Amino acid sequence: MKKLFIFIFIITFLGNCTKEIISSTNTSKFSFSSTYFDYNPYSNELYLYAEIENVTLTNNIDSVWAELFNSDNSKINDYQLMPSQSANDQLTILNIYSIKDTIYDLQSDVYSVLFKMKNELGNLFSKRSDKKDLTMNTDPTVPQIIDYSISYSINDTSKLDTFILGSSEWKELYIKLYVVDENGSGDISKVKYKVKRSCQFLYSCSDNDICSDPEYQIEDYKDLGDSNTPWEFIFENFGANNIFIYSTLIRMRPENGAALYDDEGNIQPGYEETSCGKTGTVSFQFIVTDQSDLTDVIEDIHIEIIKP
């Protein structure tokens, strides 16, 4: 009788252990592989879209929804997303959920969306979207450059009027533009800069008179960029009050004219060695253009480049 009791205890113990092992390895995993949202001011429709991968191929999706937040991180509304299709392969199951909702009173602002899902076990999964400006305006409006910064570092928002070259090391000049457009950031087609310098400015490797050399005379603003170093800004981020921040960096050659090398020791195209790093006063012109070819320009931003 004692042996029978021990046998039953062992079988029960092992059975319970086996059940716990199965449940612990049966944890489902879901991943938002793609999310998207946008607003059409002509139809007043908000569109929300999500692709969800069932990585472990266990359990099913119970529900999917999205929460819309404005620039103050206040929740505007939440929306139940509906399944549209499912694409199967050997490794994953891809589930697509979306919805369109008509909103007439949505304010122009920078928004983000928190996509959420719950599986049939009650486990929650979520993903926050990138910020996007949604505009209600349908009439073309002129973009505006409301401010700029010129500095030694990307996080500095000061306005330099003097830049000191390095003796033998390359430095970087960071420029940011702060732009507004009532048609949204997607309406901006290009943001560029030009420069000018005249013979009254020393922009050579010697103190000789260079007024007779047309190479150093740029009396009108010109774009001297090329395919390797285009003279244009890239979108960086959204600022407060739906401002679009664009940035660019200009590599500044050191006084000794050294070449610029990449991490593998190769000279970067367009940055070969020269006789010196040039100095003088350079004037900048900043230009922003939208999809309707409406343009805003600020110019005569002067920077004095001096020796170390």
pLDDT tens digits, 109-163: 999 999 999 988 888 999 999 999 999 888 999 999 999 999 999 888 899 999 9
Contact of 250 with 172, CB cutoff 8 Å: yes
Q: pLDDT digits over 12-48, tens only?
A: 434 443 333 323 334 558 889 899 999 999 899 999 9
Topology of the domain comprising 30-134: Immunoglobulin-like (2.60.40)
Query: CA–CA separation, 42 vs 39, rounded Å?
Result: 9
* Rounded distance between C-alpha atoms, residue 291 and residue 269, angstroms: 32
Name the pLDDT band for 208 (thresholds 50, 70, 90).
low
Check residue 259 and give its pLDDT. 94
Report the relative pairing of strands 295-306 and 280-290 from DSSP bridges.
antiparallel
Q: What is the pLDDT of residues 255-291, one digit of tens each?
A: 999 999 999 999 998 889 988 888 888 899 999 999 9
**What are the backbone dihedrals phi and psi of residue 241, each rounded to the nearest 5 degrees, phi first?**
60, 35
Is residue 224 very low, low, confident or very high in pLDDT (cuts 50, 70, 90)? confident
The CATH number given to 144-306 is 2.60.40
Residues of the chain with CATH 2.60.40.10: 30-134
Prediction pTM value? 0.74
What is the pLDDT averaged over residues 242-259? Answer: 93
Note the pLDDT of residue 11. 38
Bridge partner list, 147:
178
